[in-house]
């Protein structure tokens, strides 16, 4: 495994590699969810292709300075996890290597990124699109893999690739959960023991509400189940169309019930699919 800290050194390493090149963009602090993406990348790349993992805590996608400062960065164990999971190349640039002080171009998606995390985290998806496009260009990857856990991010990136004719095929991989249902996240390590014990209520609330039969019941059911904890504070709870991510007022099309919940300053996201309610 080779580790590059600049785009030019990564390109030099990749010069002699065969295809396909499969990229897994991450911010590090690996858990089994990340490892599942690396394993999927290895399957897609096969023995001839290359798996590239980027580890970059992207400052321009953080809206809260404390969240950026507190984001875990266990680089030694992350590199060991990459090695153990068949990764060929790791790209770990510094913020200075990625962003010039007078940079003046940003990628903006204007529809799918408006609701949910985009509404409560101003500029977040501009930061995501900009860094992901840069990583695609630096690595010249053929394929990139993203987790379904961040389903809005996945939808926004698919839209960017479609609208800008980016020659990268996007694969997705299912959410990996703790045994109690909590979606694995690098931020879970920052929960206090009391908050960690309470946090599975998010997924439970979403899955139970998904069985209700009207948008109003689904939203009020999920809200009540989360808000009955004095520890949890809802950032947003929304029912959106699964394709357009616009607010859904009926169940006639596939939709998604999505939530972001704060435990102190730790913000967790999760979502469930809501089945279509066909009129009988
Ligand atoms: P992050 O390091 O949080 O930016 O995540 C890097 C990639 O891992 C993104 O594509 C995420 O969607 C994905 N990911 C994060 N958590 C999980 C999880 N629990 N299951 C599957 N994929 C995940």
pLDDT tens-digit profile, the chain (280 residues): 999 999 999 999 999 888 899 999 999 999 999 999 999 999 999 999 999 999 999 999 998 999 999 999 999 999 999 999 999 999 999 999 999 999 999 999 999 999 999 998 899 999 999 999 999 999 999 999 999 999 999 999 999 999 999 999 999 999 999 999 999 999 999 999 999 999 999 999 999 999 999 999 999 999 999 999 999 999 999 999 999 999 999 999 999 999 999 999 999 999 999 988 765 4
Q: Is the CB of 27 under 6 A from ligand 1?
A: yes
Sign of CA dihedral 52, 57, 60, 61: positive
Distance 267 CA to ligand 1 centre (A): 15
Taking the centre of ligand 1 as the mean of its atom positions, its distance from the CA of residue 152, in whole angstroms, is 12
**Active-site entry in 34, 124, 195, 271:** 34
Q: Does domain 2-173 have CATH number 3.40.50.620?
A: yes
**Burial tier of 93 (Cβ tally within 10 Å: 0-12, 13-18, 19+):** buried
Stretch(es) of the chain classified as CATH 3.40.50.620: 2-173
- What is the pLDDT at residue 277? 79
Give the model's pLDDT for residue 280.
47
Q: Any idea which architecture 186-271 has in CATH? A: 2-Layer Sandwich (3.30)
Active site residue 34: yes
Segments of the chain assigned to CATH 3.30.1300.10: 186-271
Which residue is closest in CA terms to ligand 1's atom 7?
26
Compute the distance from residue 87 Cα to the ligand 1 centre, in Å.
Answer: 16
Per-residue pLDDT, 189: 94
Check if 150 has its Cβ closer than 6 Å to any atom of ligand 1.
yes
Cis peptide before 19 (omega within 30 of 0): no
In degrees, rounded to 5, the angle at the alpha carbon of residue 39 between the alpha carbons of residues 189 and 242 is 75
**How close is the Cα of 155 to the center of ligand 1, in Å?**
14
CA of 145, closest atom in ligand 1:
10
Task: Look at residue 279 in the predicted model and tell me its pLDDT.
Answer: 58
The reported pTM is 0.95
């Amino acid at each position: 495994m080779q580790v590059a800290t600049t785009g030019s050194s990564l390109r030099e390493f990749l010069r002699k590699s065969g295809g396909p090149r499969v990229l897994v963009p991450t911010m590090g602090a690996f858990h089994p969810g990340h490892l599942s993406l690396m394993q999927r990348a290895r399957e897609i790349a096969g023995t001839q292709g290359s798996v590239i993992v980027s580890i970059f805590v992207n400052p321009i996608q953080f809206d809260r300075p404390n969240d950026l400062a507190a984001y875990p960065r266990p680089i030694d164990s992350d590199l060991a996890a990459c090695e153990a999971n068949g990764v060929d190349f790791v790209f770990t640039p510094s913020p200075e290597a990625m962003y010039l002080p007078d940079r003046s171009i940003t990628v903006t998606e204007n529809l799918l990124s408006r609701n949910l995390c985009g509404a409560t985290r101003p500029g977040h998806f501009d930061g995501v699109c900009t860094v992901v496009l840069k990583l695609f260009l630096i690595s010249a990857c053929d394929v990139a893999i993203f987790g379904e856990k961040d389903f809005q991010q996945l939808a926004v990136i698919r839209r960017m690739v479609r609208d800008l004719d980016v020659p990268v095929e996007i694969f997705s991989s299912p959410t990996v959960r703790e045994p109690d249902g909590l979606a694995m996240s690098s931020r879970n390590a920052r929960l206090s023991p009391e908050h960690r014990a309470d946090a599975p209520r998010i997924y439970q609330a979403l899955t139970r509400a998904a069985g209700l039969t009207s948008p109003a019941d689904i939203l009020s059911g999920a809200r009540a189940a989360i808000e009955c904890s004095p520890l949890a504070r809802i950032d947003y709870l929304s029912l959106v169309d699964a394709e357009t991510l616009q607010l859904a007022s009926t169940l006639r099309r596939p939709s998604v019930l999505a939530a972001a919940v704060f435990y102190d300053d730790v913000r967790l996201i999760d979502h469930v699919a809501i089945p279509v309610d066909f009129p009988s």
